[in-house]
Amino acid sequence: MKALILSGGKGTRLRPLTYTGAKQLVPVANKPILWYGIEAIVEAGITDIGIIISPETGPEIQEKTGDGARFGARITYIPQDQPLGLAHAVKVAQPFLQDSPFVMYLGDNLIQDPLGDFLSYFQAQALDALILLRAVSNPSAFGVAEVDPQGRVLALVEKPQNPPSNLALVGLYFFSPEIHQAIAQIQPSPRGELEITDAIQALIDAEKAVEAQQLAGWWLDTGKKDDLLEANRIILDTLLAPDKQGRVDDQSQIIGRVKIHPSAEIINSSIRGPVIIGADCRIVNAFIGPYTSVADGVAIEEADLEHSVILQGAQIIGVQQRLVDSVIGQRAKLTVTPRQPAALRFLVGDDSQIEFSPRRF
């Protein structure tokens, strides 16, 4: 059994943050989104992993993720020159996959349910495809499945105007080698892409064994800012283990589930969890509120923030009103002087500098 993780694409929904980096490497609770998928796959017992990468962000993904040794896996990187659909990614990866069954995982998705249970069912039933579904309020934005009461998939359609159900395809699939023949039969969709839904439909039309199961836990697609913040909130809520090892002075107050790296320094500040603070951070005269992730090397002084994701090396200085619902990119510098509005919201890309002067308010 092998695994294929899709980590290509251009990340347009998270721009400007992803103009300079891979969306799959944006951290949730200070860990790249991609790594959660790798860990889930290894936990299910699959250690031979291929990762689809794009020319724009592939080198960064390779540099930060490595050969897989840190996860107990072996990673093969597979270039995809153009993002021409999920089925196209499988086609590009066929030399790696060969005749092995495999799990396909979208690298910007987070799934709570353990993969092992689905893998065991897929193998025990000798299926050609097992898809995972979740009821959603906006099915027109997803691939949608129509299933019978026994879980057999009757039809699939990609982003339909009139959905046959509210069951969206989650970014996790299990396939036998039959999927390669199905992909060879399909044509690009009106979007110009080879759709995995069309390939699965080809399996259904050929009367192959295609079934579906519904997720019990949460499923998070982190492609947009608000989705990323929600993922950060849920991960901090469900997975954060408190560990207050940092250098915290007597004037500071730490409340709730807070994880502080031993090299971080907290001076005259209040931190109310769930919060995670990375290595070499310096927090002075600040309030860090719930559901905030602060990556390595961040400086926060005279600032008040919550429900935000602050990336590596960022500086936030003098933001005395609340900074909320924000994502601040790597090495970005945000400086705010007095006479500010009551609350501020930002999506700031890497290496940006933003300064507000009093005359603008």
Token match 């879980």: residue?
Answer: 151
Q: How confident is the model at residue 322, as a pLDDT?
A: 85
Residues 272, 324, 360: CA angle, nearest 5 degrees: 130
Q: For the chain, which domains are there?
A: 2-235 (3.90.550.10), 242-360 (2.160.10.10)
Task: Give CA torsion, residues 20, 25, 31, 33, to 10 deg.
Answer: 140
Tens of pLDDT, residues 253-291: 999 999 999 999 999 999 999 999 999 999 999 999 999
Tens of pLDDT, residues 11-32: 444 444 544 567 788 899 999 9
Q: Which residues are within 8 A (CB) of 219 and not within 5 positions of it... i.e. 6 or more apart?
A: 109, 110, 111, 112, 134, 170, 171
CA 334 to chain centre: 25
Distances in Å between the Cα of 355 and the Cα atoms of 35, 316, 318, 339, 359 are 34, 10, 10, 13, 12
Q: How confident is the model at residue 267, as a pLDDT?
A: 98
The verdict on pTM exceeding 0.85 is: yes
Q: Collect the ranges in the chain with pLDDT lower than 70.
A: 9-21, 336-361
- 1: tokens are 């059994």
3-state secondary structure 269-335: CEEECCEEECCCCEEECCEECCCEEECCCCEEECCEEECCEECCCCEEECCCCEEECCEECCCCEEE
Q: How confident is the model at residue 360, as a pLDDT?
A: 45
**d(C-alpha 275, C-alpha 290), whole Å:** 6
Distances in Å between the Cα of 186 and the Cα atoms of 37, 179, 189, 203, 238 are 28, 11, 9, 11, 41
Q: How confident is the model at residue 164, as a pLDDT?
A: 87
Q: How confident is the model at residue 15, as a pLDDT?
A: 45
**d(C-alpha 312, C-alpha 236), whole Å:** 18
**d(C-alpha 326, C-alpha 92), whole Å:** 36
Task: Give CA torsion, residues 67, 73, 76, 80, to 10 deg.
Answer: -100
Q: How confident is the model at residue 338, as a pLDDT?
A: 58
- 283: tokens are 């927090």
